[in-house]
Amino acid sequence: MNIFDMTIHQLHSALKEKQLSSVEATTAMLARIKAVEPQVGSFITLTPEQALTDAASADIRIAAGKAGVLTGIPLALKDIFLTEGIRTTCGSRILENFIPPYSATSWEKLKDQGAVLLGKLNQDEFAMGSSNESSAYGITRNPWDTSCIPGGSSGGSAAAVAAGEAIATLGTDTGGSIRQPASHCGCVGLKPTYGRVSRYGVIAYASSLDQVGPLTRDVADCAIMLGAIAGHDPKDSTSVDTPVPDYTASLTTGVKGLKIGLPKEYFIAGLDPEVQVAMDAAIETYRRLGAEFVDISLPHTDYAVATYYLIATAEASSNLARYDGVRFGHRAEANCLLDMYGKSRSEGFGAEVKRRIMLGTYALSSGYYDAYYVKAQKVRTLIMNDFMAAFANVDVMLTPVAPTPAFKIGEKINDPLQMYLSDIFTIPVNLAGTCAMSLPAGFSAGGLPIGLQLIGKPFGEETLLQAGYAFEQVTEWHSRKATI
Amino acid sequence: MKYQPVIGLEVHVQLLTDTKIFCGCSTKFGAEPNSQTCPVCLGLPGALPVLNKKVVEFAIKAGLSTNCSITPRSLFARKNYFYPDLPKGYQISQFEDPICQWGWLDIKVDGEETKRIRITRIHMEEDAGKLVHGELSGPGDGSGVDLNRACTPLLEVVSEPDLRSSDEAVVYLKQLHQIVTWLGICDGNMEEGSFRCDANVSVMPAGSSTLGTRAEIKNVNSFKFVKQAIEYEIGRQIELIEDGGTVVQETRLFDPDSGTTRSMRSKEEAHDYRYFPDPDLVPLVISDQWIERSRQELPELPEQRQRRFTDDLGLTLYDAEVLTSSRALADYFEAGVAAGGNAKAIGNWIMGEITRALNDSGVSIEACPVTPGQLAELLKLIDIGTISGKIAKTVFEEMWKSGKTPQSIVEEQGLVQVSDSGAIEGIIDEIMAANAGQVEEYRGGKEKVFGFFVGQVMKASRGKANPSVVNELLLSKLKG
């Protein structure tokens, strides 16, 4: 088996059994990256020297018998995670030369376990996009079909896992940015409950929706990664102080008697027939495994995309105000302060980011605030209530992740509205603040992966992982490899 | 036509916490620029605010001391605007649901009735940094940003437009100043900007109930300037209206050098701050128990203390007010009384000798070298006739300088009052013999000469002769 195709648990066993050293594994990963990166473009910044140094220290730790499950495992991070001393761009020109003086809590936790950092992954600029095409550092291609997008905004995180460029990665999900690319690239992607993972040191897009999560090759890896990064962080007031279960230990619980809801609003006429087929097959699989299905309704689903584009852009317009050229990031030459602001931001931000800053500024403006922002918050509450009411009768929900498999590069870039609609099934989960996972569940005739989404109750990640694991045991979608 | 001025004040109170409101950096004044900063107060990407609980406790105390209701669930909001001293491009403040609401202070201007000034709200917020112009050590002559002050905790206390004169405004402001310094939540230093004020001023025809258009006056940083700025602004607005003009809503800057205000920005140029609840901070929930605990911890406030000083200790209202002008002064007074001093006498000495000595040496009452116990002891020496009031002043000076007890000074320097009539008689006899002419004058009816004799006796006794004994003996001897 290729080292670069291994899962975390496989590589961990190999390291523990001394069949392999972390330096060897890391060297193999770096070679793989060198080989396929020209076709995929997952990375913005590679850190090979750092990786080999980290791997060498991991090997010492392994030799001392002090290895954790992530010790010596080569990982990569979406370039939205601050990494001390390593450039962090967030996919934007405005942070082209930004070297952070501190690291994100989630990365600190992985590093403490001895994980090895291969580099920083490409993404839509400031996590705004569904195709990775809004990055200032070039596009990322889908490893299953390089004429297609990998999804976004954590496109690099998904493509790297699918192309064997990292054993696992971290992404962020504000409206589907982990799940949609995971679906398009055939990986497992989990968006935890809001507050489950610290946001400290993660560049903010929309603070009330952003959440950190893993992208992995299988559900067991996903459980390992989530267990490592979850938990209360005193530096993030919105992180919740709830105990972190041992996700790995309970994976094999099974789904017998599990009540799965099928929200009718997610199985609509416009759904791609191949996606529908994959969903039907998945439902059948779960039924065979002993799960029960319940038809449910989330009546305010139709308003989710509009609500999201008011709340997310409003928060973004404020979050992105700090990129003013004064203290860090890109600064344009100008003769007065106002021009400096204007030129720095106009040169530093791309079109999609500017569009969202303008939308959000408008939504918060005096005279429009009540009609847009306040109204959107009210609808958000209704959407949340939809989920809570439905969860009174079901344990999880099953839906598609995206209406279609990955689309062609350039296909939607000039049609923002079409682009926004590709997140129609993932956005409501962020608005409700609950957790959801994308699992490989089939392929299109053209060979593109199709994902299924399992939505859980708040802090119900354990159930999601159990359900995902059970599905994986009887399907082979997750073990297929992209040929690149 | 007669005009009625209408004034409301917005006061910024910098809180005396050791650390900033949303991070653990020190709030100490005067450090090397940008040395007290971290990712949070620098507004670095990814950094998140965490509320300092001490700030909430201080805000609750301020609210309870100004008769406010404490909001059970209050929110932080972002106030968005661009300025180089504002690292995040927004200030974290409170907008809807501030921590304290609906309070009041009763004020009394000399010779007028007590008047209730309503307080609309008190909210918590972070301060901005500071721009440094033309003092950069680096190349070029640009401006620098010092973010040491960024994220320092402030309370903003907003009054209703209930004030009707500059005098009322000053009394209100002084009272608020007294409360926050009394609570120990603010150092009250107006020059350093720890306590600063914006004034909203308008005028309307006397008897009218429709408020005029207001101007907001910024940069008023002393009680004197508050009075000056408000009076100038009232005059300016009246003159404008009399000349057929109209007052426009605008922000004006007070210039302390000229005592005038000038336009800073008009209503049209005013920022749209786009306030919205800060998603990085959860709603602040304050339980009844927390409020009750804070109430228990409140010190006795100036007004209550004044009442005790007049009712229980028999001071005049004026003296009680002076002695409660700061908590430390009132504490000093009470310690002196507790040490056995006569309240009236202790009060007089504090307001007289002590205040004078403090002022002359630039020392605060907290650092007063004479302890309240020593002061009480000194006054006891006067009471029992060991020394005269005059000698006591000499002793006091020595106490101030050396820190010695009054008793030891009196003994060392032989300052014990001479009340022995035999000794005094001897002195008187000598003086009368040496000044026979003046004795004749006195006996001839020129009674003013009496003072001359007193002076001579005191001089000869180096001030130690008991003045009343001197008086008595002199009188009988001179009368012959």
Task: Work out the minimum CA distance from B159 to partner chain A, whole angstroms.
Answer: 24
Closest CA to A88 of A328, A317, A357, A341: A328
Q: Residue A154, preceding bond cis, omega within 30 degrees?
A: no
- A353-357, B249-253, B432-436: least confidently modelled range: B432-436
Contact call for B45 and A204, based on CB within 8 A: yes
On chain B, the residues whose CB falls within 8 A of the CB of A203 are 45-46
Within-domain flag for B295: no
Q: Does B271 touch chain A (CB under 8 A)?
A: no
Within-domain flag for B168: yes
Q: Does B90 touch chain A (CB under 8 A)?
A: yes
Q: Does B223 touch chain A (CB under 8 A)?
A: no
DSSP E strand stretches across B206-272: 215-220, 250-255, 260-266
Contact call for A101 and B276, based on CB within 8 A: no
Would strands A74-78 and A116-121 be described as parallel, antiparallel, or unpaired? Answer: parallel
Strand order in the sheet with B276-277: B90-93, B77-80, B276-277
Best of A84, A125, A327 to mutate (most B CBs within 10 Å, chain B): A327
What is residue B352's DSSP assignment?
I
Contact call for A101 and B90, based on CB within 8 A: no
Based on the domain organization, do B439 and B335 belong to the same domain? no
Give the type of residue at B286. Answer: I
Mean pLDDT confidence for B345-356: 93
Answer yes or no: A177 catalytic.
yes
Q: Does B79 touch chain A (CB under 8 A)?
A: no
- The C-alpha atoms of residue A164 and residue A6 are separated, in whole angstroms, by 8
User: H or E element: which one contains B6?
Assistant: strand B3-14
User: H or E element: which one contains B53?
Assistant: helix B53-65
Residue B477: the pLDDT is 84
Asked if A179 contacts A438 with a C-beta cutoff of 8 angstroms, the reply is: yes
Q: What is the DSSP string of B159-212?
A: E-S-B-SHHHHHHHHHHHHHHHHHTTS----TTTTSEEEEEEEEEEETT--S--
On chain B, the residues whose CB falls within 8 A of the CB of A236 are 48, 50
Best of A210, A364, A381, A430 to mutate (most B CBs within 10 Å, chain B): A364
Based on the domain organization, do B201 and B325 belong to the same domain? no
User: H or E element: which one contains A43?
Assistant: strand A43-46
On chain B, the residues whose CB falls within 8 A of the CB of A320 are 89
On chain A, the residues whose CB falls within 8 A of the CB of B276 are 314-315, 318, 364, 369, 373
Contact call for B47 and A337, based on CB within 8 A: no
Asked if A452 contacts A441 with a C-beta cutoff of 8 angstroms, the reply is: yes
Task: Work out the minimum CA distance from A345 to partner chain B, whole angstroms.
Answer: 12
The number of helices, as runs of H, and strands, as runs of E, in chain B is: 16, 16
pLDDT digits (tens, 9 = 90+) for B36-80: 999 999 999 999 999 999 999 999 999 999 999 999 999 999 999
Based on the domain organization, do B76 and B208 belong to the same domain? yes
Contact residues of A toward B, CB < 8 A: 82, 88, 90, 95, 98, 100-102, 104, 199-204, 206-208, 234-238, 314-315, 317-318, 320-322, 324, 326-328, 337, 341, 361, 364-366, 369, 373
Q: Does B400 touch chain A (CB under 8 A)?
A: no
Report the phi/psi class of residue A76: left, alpha or beta, with left for phi > 0 and alpha for psi in -120 to 50. Answer: beta
On chain A, the residues whose CB falls within 8 A of the CB of B50 are 234-237
User: H or E element: which one contains A35?
Assistant: helix A22-40
CA distances from B292 to A158, B60, B119, B306, B478 (A): 54, 10, 21, 24, 72
On chain B, the residues whose CB falls within 8 A of the CB of A315 are 276, 279
Task: Work out the minimum CA distance from B24 to partner chain A, whole angstroms.
Answer: 11
Based on the domain organization, do B325 and B210 belong to the same domain? no
Task: Work out the minimum CA distance from A405 to partner chain B, whole angstroms.
Answer: 32
Task: Work out the minimum CA distance from B149 to partner chain A, whole angstroms.
Answer: 16
Residue B139: the pLDDT is 61
Domain ranges for chain A: 3-259+393-479
Give the residue from B412, B429, B457 where a domain finishes.
Answer: B412
Q: Does B293 touch chain A (CB under 8 A)?
A: no
The chain A residue lying nearest B82, using CA atoms, is A321
Contact call for A321 and B89, based on CB within 8 A: yes
The chain A residue lying nearest B80, using CA atoms, is A318
On chain B, the residues whose CB falls within 8 A of the CB of A326 are 84, 87, 145
Contact call for B80 and A364, based on CB within 8 A: yes
Asked if A190 contacts A214 with a C-beta cutoff of 8 angstroms, the reply is: yes
Residue B135: the pLDDT is 63
Contact call for A237 and B90, based on CB within 8 A: no
Mean pLDDT confidence for B269-274: 88
CA distances from A466 to A245, A470, B150, B427 (A): 12, 6, 47, 111
The chain A residue lying nearest B87, using CA atoms, is A322
- The C-alpha atoms of residue A372 and residue B147 are separated, in whole angstroms, by 34
Within-domain flag for B235: yes
Residue B451: the pLDDT is 87
Catalytic residue among A153, A239, A317, A444: A153
Within-domain flag for B456: yes
Kindly report the number of other CB atoms within 10 A of residue B360's CB atom.
9
Residue B408: the pLDDT is 87
Based on the domain organization, do B344 and B262 belong to the same domain? no
Residue B268 has pLDDT above 80, yes or no: no
CA A377, distance to chain mean position in Å, is 24
The chain B residue lying nearest A201, using CA atoms, is B46
Residue B138: the pLDDT is 59
Residue A478: the pLDDT is 95
Best of A172, A319, A320, A372 to mutate (most B CBs within 10 Å, chain B): A319
- The C-alpha atoms of residue B191 and residue B207 are separated, in whole angstroms, by 38
Radius of gyration, CA atoms only, chain A = 21
Give the number of domains in chain B: 3
Based on the domain organization, do B35 and B137 belong to the same domain? yes
pLDDT digits (tens, 9 = 90+) for B78-102: 999 999 999 999 999 999 999 999 9
Answer yes or no: A78 catalytic.
yes
Token representation of residue A407: 């689309």
- The C-alpha atoms of residue B201 and residue B121 are separated, in whole angstroms, by 18
Give the residue from B354, B382, B412 where a domain finishes.
Answer: B412
On chain A, the residues whose CB falls within 8 A of the CB of B47 are 200-201
HSE value, Cβ hemisphere, 13 Å, CA-based, for A251: 17
Digit-by-digit pLDDT tens for chain A (484 residues) are 899 999 999 999 999 999 999 999 999 999 999 999 999 999 999 999 999 999 999 999 999 999 999 999 999 999 999 999 999 999 999 999 999 999 999 999 999 999 999 999 999 999 999 999 999 999 999 999 999 999 999 999 999 999 999 999 999 999 999 999 999 999 999 999 999 999 999 999 999 999 999 999 999 999 999 999 999 999 999 999 999 999 999 999 999 999 999 999 999 877 999 999 999 999 999 999 999 999 999 999 999 999 999 999 999 999 999 999 999 999 999 999 999 999 999 999 999 999 999 999 999 999 999 999 999 999 999 999 999 999 999 999 999 999 999 999 999 988 888 888 889 999 999 999 999 999 999 999 999 999 999 999 999 999 999 999 999 999 999 999 999 8
Q: How many degrees, rounded to 5, is the angle at CA A198 between CA A13 and CA A194?
A: 105
Best of B280, B281, B285 to mutate (most A CBs within 10 Å, chain A): B280
* φ, ψ at A35 (rounded to 5°): -75, -45
Give the residue from B258, B290, B322 where a domain finishes.
Answer: B290
Long-range pairs for B310-317 at CB < 8 Å and ≥24 separation? Answer: B313/B337, B313/B343, B314/B343, B314/B344, B315/B343, B315/B344, B315/B347
Based on the domain organization, do B377 and B466 belong to the same domain? no
Contact call for B282 and A341, based on CB within 8 A: no
What top-level class would CATH report for the domain A3-259+393-479?
alpha beta
Q: Using a pLDDT cut of 90, give the percent of chain B over it.
A: 70
Based on the domain organization, do B109 and B162 belong to the same domain? yes
Based on the domain organization, do B235 and B308 belong to the same domain? no
Mean pLDDT, all residues of chain B = 92
Residue B2: the pLDDT is 92
Residue-range definition of the domain harbouring residue B261: 3-290
- The C-alpha atoms of residue A226 and residue A352 are separated, in whole angstroms, by 31
Q: Cβ contacts of residue B241 below 8 Å, gap of 6+?
A: B3, B203, B247
Contact call for B282 and A238, based on CB within 8 A: yes
Contact call for A366 and B272, based on CB within 8 A: yes
Answer yes or no: A207 catalytic.
no
Contact call for A373 and B276, based on CB within 8 A: yes
Based on the domain organization, do B225 and B367 belong to the same domain? no
Q: Cβ contacts of residue A200 below 8 Å, gap of 6+?
A: A104, A105, A233, A235, A236, A239, B46, B47, B48
Within-domain flag for B197: yes
Catalytic residue among A78, A120, A412, A457: A78
Based on the domain organization, do B107 and B10 belong to the same domain? yes
Q: Does B29 touch chain A (CB under 8 A)?
A: no
Based on the domain organization, do B428 and B402 belong to the same domain? no
Residue B136 has pLDDT above 70, yes or no: no
User: At B448, which CATH number?
Assistant: 1.10.10.410
